[in-house]
């Protein structure tokens, strides 16, 4: 091997070790997380997970509200889209984060949310909570910290694969195994589900309906997996909120640029509090509150496309 190649490999190794050490340091110094009290690694889940299996591994409290009345019991995509738009004229905003947990990045998102006294919802990929080793242990501790801090957790599938096919065992594995790993890590059964890429086949909808899971889509998207400039990301979110007046914000808690954009956005929202009399400004609420209000006073349009066209007409006419 050439000396130049050895130097490059050595540089990569040093960089990787530096990143790992920084992540562990950020994790272990966070006030809500204790490195000394790491949980034991969960046993590898069986290929097919049933509710009986879950009951044998969790306390009864973990199933609280699991079968409570769903706002969308048939997991209808149009209904989910309208619920994601929120209650008419509420100005409510709710914050959601996909693809975690991470170590340094999710901890940073937690710090920002705590500084602004708001609660977020984290849609976790179950595979990040599986296995043994330092990284898996850290991910599980971060997931536990989300619950301990009063945030909400949701299921984002096992491996972030599209759930758009008809293979029911595969769909059940992606949904149920992820739910089990999340429940084993946090002690809570996730009842909110966000499909990877926002796609669901009829077969996948049936699986979710049988589980009584609440389907959660989004309405405000910074496209932060394609953009690394926090200022541009935050501006994009602000413009979408000004157009729609409210919504479910989607960010990804595995990216430092997304965490910085979140901080900029929350500062902006603090400067634009809700004024109900003038129908201006925004209020940040948690996801259960947002969905409860949306179900009580939903937009009357049949789907989000119809609502979008209405908003465009109102903006052109100056009525919105």
Least confidently predicted of 14-18, 195-199, 227-231, 302-306: 14-18
- pLDDT at position 55 over 70: no
The H or E element that residue 24 is part of is helix 3-29
Model confidence band, residue 320 (pLDDT cutoffs 50, 70, 90): confident
Distance between CA atoms of 199 and 313, rounded to whole angstroms?
28
Decide if 141 is inside a domain. Answer: yes
Mean pLDDT, residues 105-123 taken together = 98
- Residue 100's DSSP bridge partners are 124
- Residues spanned by the domain of 302: 75-317
Q: Does 54 have pLDDT greater than 60?
A: no
Q: Quick check: is 13 in a domain?
A: no
Sign of the CA dihedral with 162 first, then 123, 128, and 183 last:
negative
Banded pLDDT at 34 (limits 50, 70, 90): very low
188 domain-assigned? yes
Tell me whether residue 215 is in a domain.
yes
Residue 34 lies in a domain: no
Is position 9 within any domain? no
**pLDDT computed for residue 61 by the predictor:** 55
- Tens digit of each residue's pLDDT (9 = 90 or more) over 183-231: 999 999 999 999 999 999 999 999 999 999 999 999 999 999 999 999 9
pLDDT digits (tens, 9 = 90+) for 129-188: 999 999 999 999 999 999 999 999 999 999 999 999 999 999 999 999 999 999 999 999
What's the pLDDT at 17? 37
The CATH number for 268's domain is: 3.20.20.370
The predicted pLDDT at position 283 comes to: 98
DSSP string of 35-50? STTPPPPPPPPPSS--
As to burial, measured by CB atoms within 10 angstroms (0-12 exposed, 13-18 middle, 19+ buried), residue 98 is buried
Alpha-carbon distance of 284 to 117, in angstroms, equals: 10
Does residue 23 lie within any of the structural domains?
no
The structure's pTM equals 0.82
Cα dihedral sign, 12-18-129-256: negative
Quote the CA–CA distance of 71 and 203 in Å, as a whole number: 20
**Is 108 a member of any domain?**
yes
CA distance 222 to 237: 6
Number of domains the chain contains = 1
């Amino acid at each position: 091997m050439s000396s130049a190649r050895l130097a490059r490999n050595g540089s990569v190794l040093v960089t990787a070790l530096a990143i790992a050490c920084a992540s562990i340091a950020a994790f272990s110094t966070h006030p809500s997380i204790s490195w000394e009290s790491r949980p034991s690694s969960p046993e590898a889940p069986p290929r097919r997970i049933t509710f009986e299996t879950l009951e044998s591994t969790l306390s009864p409290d973990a199933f609280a509200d699991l079968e409570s009345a769903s706002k969308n019991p048939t997991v209808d995509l149009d209904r989910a889209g309208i619920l994601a738009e929120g209650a008419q004229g509420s100005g409510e905003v709710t914050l959601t984060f996909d693809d975690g947990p991470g170590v340094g990045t999710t901890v940073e998102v937690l710090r920002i949310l705590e500084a602004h006294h708001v609660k977020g919802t984290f849609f976790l990929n179950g595979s990040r909570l599986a296995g043994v080793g330092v990284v898996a242990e850290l991910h599980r501790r971060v997931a536990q910290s989300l619950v301990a801090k009063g945030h909400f957790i949701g299921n984002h599938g096992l491996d972030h694969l599209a759930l758009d096919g008809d293979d029911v065992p595969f769909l059940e594995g992606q949904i149920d195994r992820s739910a089990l790993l999340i429940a084993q890590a946090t002690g809570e059964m996730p009842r909110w589900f966000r499909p990877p890429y926002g796609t669901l086949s009829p077969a996948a909808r049936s699986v979710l309906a049988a589980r009584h899971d609440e389907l959660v889509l989004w309405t405000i998207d910074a496209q932060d997996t394609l953009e690394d400039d926090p200022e541009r990301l935050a501006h994009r979110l602000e413009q979408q909120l000004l157009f729609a007046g409210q919504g479910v914000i989607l960010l990804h808690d595995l990216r430092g640029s997304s965490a910085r954009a979140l901080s900029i956005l929350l500062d902006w929202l603090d400067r634009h509090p809700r004024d109900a009399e003038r129908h201006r400004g925004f209020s940040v609420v948690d996801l259960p509150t947002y969905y409860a209000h949306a179900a009580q006073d939903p937009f009357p349009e049949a789907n989000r496309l119809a609502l979008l066209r209405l908003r465009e007409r109102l903006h052109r006419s100056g009525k919105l």
